[in-house]
Chain A
Amino acid sequence: MSTSRHYERNQVASGAMDHEQAGEVSRRAVLAGTVAATAAAAVLPVAGSAYAQGVDPSSKPDMMAFLLLSAALTGVHVITLAPEFSIDPKKTDILDQDPGVDPINVKNDYFKWLNAHDAATFGKLLQIAKDHRQSAAEIIAAVNAGDDTKFLARSIALLWYLGSWYKPADLQKNSAPGKRALIDSQVVSAKAYTQGLVWQIVQAHPMGYSNLQFGYWSREPVDPNDQNSRSDFGFITQTIP
Chain B
Amino acid sequence: MRDNRLLAAQLTTALGLIVLCGMSTPTSAQTAAAGASEIKPLPPIFKCNANLLPDPFKGKLAGPDIPTGILPVSDQDKANILNSDLPCQERVSPNPVNADAGEAEGLENLQRGFDFYSWRTFVAMNSPADGKTTILQSQPDTPTRWESMDNFKQLLDVMLPTKMQPPKWPTDKAAMEAERDRLIPAECAVLHKQMPERMVVKMIEESFNEPFKTGPLIDQQGRYAIFDILMNRQMFDYIMKNHLNSKPGQSSAANAGLAVDFPPGQNADATLGAFMLKVSWKILGPDEPKPETFHKVKALVLMPPGDPKVKRPCLPETLGLIGFHAVHKTASRPQWIWTSFEHAKNVPDKDEVAAKKFDGPYNFFSVNCKDDCPEANATPPREFWQPDPALQLKFKDAKFRSQIVRETPLTDAAKNMNKIFHSMLKGTVWENYMLLSTQWPSVFGCTSLRSQSSEAPVPKTDFMKQPDMTCSPAPTFFANSTLETYSQGDIPLASSSCIACHGNAVGFQTGASNPKRGEVHLNQSDFTFMLEKAQ
Write the residues of chain A forming the contact surface with B, with a CB cutoff of 8 angstroms.
19, 79, 83-84, 86, 98, 100-104, 190-191, 193-194, 199-200, 203-205, 208-216, 218-222, 230-232, 235
Contacts of A103 in B (CB 8 A): 107, 442, 472-476
Cβ A191 vs Cβ B492 within 8 A? yes
When distances are taken between beta carbons in the complex, the residues of chain B under 8 Å from A200 are 467-468
* A84 in contact with B107 (CB, 8 Å): yes
Q: Is the CB of B472 within 8 A of A213?
A: no
Pick the most buried of A79, A204, A209, A219: most chain B CB atoms within 10 A of its CB. A219
Cα A232 to Cα B493 with chains together (Å): 21
Q: Are the C-beta atoms of B462 and A230 separated by less than 8 Å?
A: yes
Partner of B450, one of A194, A212, A230: A230
Find chain B residues with CB under 8 A from A19 CB.
Answer: 445
Asked if B515 and A209 make an inter-chain contact with CB atoms under 8 angstroms apart, the answer reads no
B475 partner residues in chain A, CB cutoff 8 A: 103
12 contacts across the A-B interface (CB closer than 8 A)? A83-B443, A86-B94, A101-B106, A102-B472, A209-B493, A211-B469, A211-B503, A212-B466, A214-B524, A219-B515, A231-B465, A232-B467
From A199, A209, A211, residue with most partner B Cβ within 10 Å: A211
Enumerate chain B residues within 8 angstroms of A205, measured Cβ to Cβ: 467
Q: Is B34 interfacial (CB-CB < 8 Å)?
A: no
Could you tell me the distance between the alpha carbons of A231 and B523 in the complex, rounded to whole angstroms? 18
What is the size category of the interface that chain B forms with chain A?
35 or more
Contact status B521-A210, CB under 8 Å: no
- Could you say which residues of chain B place their CB within 8 Å of the CB of A191? 492
Q: Is B55 an interface residue (CB 8 A)?
A: no
Smallest CB separation, B461 vs chain A (Å): 11
**A200 CA / B469 CA spacing, docked (Å):** 12
A98→B106 contact, CB < 8 A: yes
Interchain CB contact (< 8 A) of A231 among B106, B464, B491, B522: B464
In the complex the two chains form, is B515's CB within 8 Å of A213's CB?
no
**Most central of B106, B466, B469, B520 by chain A CB within 10 Å:** B466
Q: Is the CB of A232 within 8 A of B470?
A: no
CA distance A30 to B525 in the complex (A): 33
Q: Are A190 and B506 in contact (CB under 8 A)?
A: no
Give me 19 other A-B pairs in contact (C-beta within 8 A), A213-B469, A232-B446 excluded: A79-B445, A83-B472, A103-B472, A103-B473, A103-B475, A104-B476, A190-B492, A212-B468, A213-B466, A213-B503, A213-B522, A214-B504, A214-B506, A215-B521, A216-B466, A218-B512, A218-B515, A222-B466, A231-B465
B24 interface residue per 8 A CB criterion: no
What's the least CB distance linking B63 to chain A, in Å? 17
B449 cross-chain contacts in A, Cβ below 8 A: 230, 232
A232 to B107, CA, bound (A): 20
B472 in complex: contacting residue of A104, A220, A221, A235, CB < 8 Å = A104
| Inter-chain contacts of B94 with A (CB < 8 A) | 84, 86, 100
Q: State the Cβ distance, A184 to closest chain B Cβ, in Å.
A: 23
A19-B445, A100-B106, A230-B462 known; A210-B493 Cβ under 8 A: yes
Binary contact readout B484-518 vs A (1 if CB under 8 angstroms, 0 otherwise): 00000001110000001001111000001111010
Q: How far is the CB of A31 from chain B (nearest CB, A)?
A: 15
- Are A102 and B442 in contact, CB atoms less than 8 angstroms apart? yes
What residues of B have a CB within 8 angstroms of the CB of A190 in the complex? Answer: 491-492
B108 proximal to A (CB < 8 A)? yes
Name the B residues within 8 Å of A231 (CB-CB).
464-467
CB closest chain-A residue, reference B491:
A190
Measured in the bound complex, the distance between the Cα atoms of B472 and A231 in whole Å is 14
Q: Which residues of B are at the interface with A, using a C-beta cutoff of 8 A? A: 94, 105-108, 442-443, 445-446, 449-450, 462-470, 472-476, 491-493, 500, 503-506, 512-515, 517, 520-524
Question: Which residues from B are CB-within-8-Å of A213?
Answer: 463, 466, 469, 503-504, 522, 524
Chain A residues closer than 8 Å to B470, beta-carbon distance:
211
How far does the alpha carbon of A213 sit from the alpha carbon of B506 in the complex, in Å?
10
Residues of A within 8 A of B474 (CB): 102-103
* Choice from B442, B462, B472, B513 contacting A218 with Cβ under 8 Å: B513
CA A193 to CA B491, docked complex, whole Å: 11
Task: Name which residue of chain B comes closest to A105, CB basis.
Answer: B107
Q: In the docked arrangement, what's the CA distance between A13 and B514, Å? A: 41
Among A83, A86, A212, A218, point to the contact of B469 (Cβ < 8 A).
A212
Asked if B504 and A215 sit within 8 Å, CB to CB, the answer is: no
Closest 3 CB pairs of A and B: A103-B474, A215-B512, A211-B468
- Give A219 to B215 CA distance when docked, in angstroms: 36
> B528: shortest Cβ distance to chain A, in Å?
13
Q: Which residues of A contact B107 (CB under 8 A)?
A: 84, 100-103
Report chain A residues within 8 Å CB of B520: 219
Residue of B nearest to A214 (CB): B506
A211→B505 CA distance, assembly (Å): 12
CB distance from B493 to the nearest CB of A (A): 5
Q: Which residues of B contact A212 (CB under 8 A)?
A: 466-469
Alpha-carbon distance between A181 and B473 when the two chains are bound, in angstroms: 40
Chain B nearest Cβ from A99, distance in angstroms: 10
B517 to chain A, nearest CB (A): 8
Residues of A within 8 A of B515 (CB): 218-219
How far is it, in angstroms, between the C-alpha of A138 and the C-alpha of B106 when the chains are bound? 31
Contacts of A83 in B (CB 8 A): 442-443, 445-446, 472
B492 and A232 within 8 A (CB): no
Give the residues in chain A near B462, CB-CB below 8 Å. Answer: 230
Given the complex of chains A and B, what is the CA–CA distance between A203 and B94 in angstroms? 30
**In the bound complex, what is the Cα–Cα distance between A210 and B522 (angstroms)?**
17
CB distance from B346 to the nearest CB of A (A): 25
- Asked whether, in the complex, the Cβ of B442 is within 8 Å of the Cβ of A215, the reply is no
Chain A residues with CB under 8 A of B473: 103
- Cα A230 to Cα B451 with chains together (Å): 11
In the complex, the answer to whether A230 meets B512 with C-beta atoms within 8 Å is no
Closest-CB distance, A230 to chain B (whole angstroms): 5
Complex Cα–Cα for A104 and B441 (A): 12
Q: How far is the CB of A87 from chain B (nearest CB, A)?
A: 12
Q: How far does the alpha carbon of A210 sit from the alpha carbon of B501 in the complex, in Å?
A: 10
Neighbouring B residues of A101 by C-beta, 8 Å: 106-108
A208, B473: Cα distance in complex, Å: 19
Please measure, in the bound complex, the distance between the C-alpha atom of A3 and the C-alpha atom of B293, giving whole angstroms: 74
CA distance A104 to B490 in the complex (A): 11
